[in-house]
Structure 1
Amino acid sequence: MESFNLTLSDPSTFILTGIPGLEDAHVWISIPLSTFYIIGLLGNFTVLFSVGKEQTLHQPMYLLLCMLALTEIGTSTSVMPKALCIFWFNLKVVSVPGCLTQMFFLHAGSVMHSAVLVTMAFDRYVAICNPLRYTTILSNARIAKLGLAGLLRAVLVVLPLPLLLSKQPFCASRIIPHTYCDHMSVAKLSCGDITVNRMYGLVVPFVINFVDLTLIALSYSLIIQAVLKISSKKAHLKALNTCTTHICVMLTSYPSFFFSTLTHRFGQGIAPYVHIVLANLYFLLPTMLNPIIYGVKNKELRDKVSKHACRICMPEGH
């Protein structure tokens, strides 16, 4: 207890409490969360391994899938190891630089994730509306450039958050009622004026997501127009079927983002543990579900994964 009080007064550290109100259930809560995290890691690393090993999968669509897998591994890993240390070992102390670093990576991962979804929508638009020029418009090199542009945008947009907070004075109470260092959770501990932090932290994520969703909606409106011009119903279904996977992935990402963000900022009547559980699920559910969605919907990827799984289970010579 004495060491804990010393930590509270240490200006170079914060205390992450975990899930307030459910401290006695931390170990039980960790079971589904760690299960989701492990399944997500296995699924995404399987996708990366299969695409990397198979030359036939070195195509724009699968390269985008690898980018999505990397962002999901990064965002979930920036959150879950520390959360599990809190749940299992009661290791609640985090240094200020460590806290700001975690904040940067989890928010940058979210912005990058959205950029990849926009590029995927553009990929589907080109594949359906300009199939003959697909390889010309979306070469692997161009996909790599779009990925780098998305990464640069994520860094430039998110970097001001930890930089602004690093200049703030923090009060004696350095307790963060959360499992990770969310921007607003840390900003609320400041004794200074956080108006800029509040405005930036609220406006920028919504502007980014609004712009990205607008671009996605534009892509799909053009796709629908192109599909309606096709006379064959079979061709209709085939064209739309190529978009269902991307739509499913978006449904696991954007609704959970908006719901988690809005309840955190405006849901004063909602219990704090609900906010925190939803915030953790926002990072975990897409990471777990997206490889499963692509595995179920994409036969070529499913076949390659099955082939490598069989090789691992039954090595040559047996």
Structure 2
Amino acid sequence: MSARDAAPRVVVTGATGAVGRHVTRALARRGPVRSLVRDASKARRLELPGETVVGDYRDGPALKRALAGAEAVFVVTANPLRPQDDAQILDAARAAGVRKAVKLSWLAVADPSANDLIARWNRQSEQMLHTSGLAWTVLRMRTPMSNTLSWASSIREESVVRALDGNARTACVDPRDVAEAAVRALTEAGHEGVTYALTGPEPIGAREQTEILARVVGRPLAFEELTAEQALARWSARLPGAVAEALLEAAQRRRAGDSCEVGDDLGRLIGRPPGTFASWAADHAAAFS
């Protein structure tokens, strides 16, 4: 095999994340893929296929190694306090001769009333992509169903779910479906210059999710409503204060019904109806049991 043949067609950043891990696995079934990860041990636990480069987005040599020979890059950043991460990925991609970038973003960007830190960061990141000189596609996703994995320990140990605004609904989306859409955008023509809104098939709230998870684990689960102060304290215990405040602002918009809209972009992209929360929960029953 020549060096050219061995070069990866796609590089995946955020490859150990909820979406990135599925993108990496799907791409590996099509051809060479390379992942940029910060945590090599997590990549091994997930058994990510293909080549892995270990490094941070601030690590210029690691970015150069990861992007060498690639045609496209899946751009996933996670820290709104480091907006330069997107710029560094895109600059390195352009220098490496990458032609296409697919960016994972958030649907709150499209909400004119959303002006919290996370929404502003994603808007800025999208603008960087638009002006990068690369052929671009933006995937704006709604809350991933996998966020409910944060309840797993309390379900296993106490048979209880604690969450804010249990009746506030969101059209949460299966990250596997988002990954399938990303693979299409990365490997097919016709998605350049397009922004897609990716939602699940129905709006659902935390209380309803708890009822579904109770059926999955085969025992009753209690739901305990958190106050805004309790939720903020929980987020602040593991996140910077500004990020925790932004999550609370997003929750307040969700309470007002801003996350309920169901779109058809995802179904058109993947050629089938998006998966339901009940289906996702059944496939992840072991995590809660």
The TM-score bracket by the shorter chain reads: under 0.3
Superposition TM-score, scaled by structure 1 size: 0.24
User: More strand per residue: 1 or 2?
Assistant: 2
Which structure has the highest helix share of the two? 1
TM-score normalised according to structure 2 size: 0.26
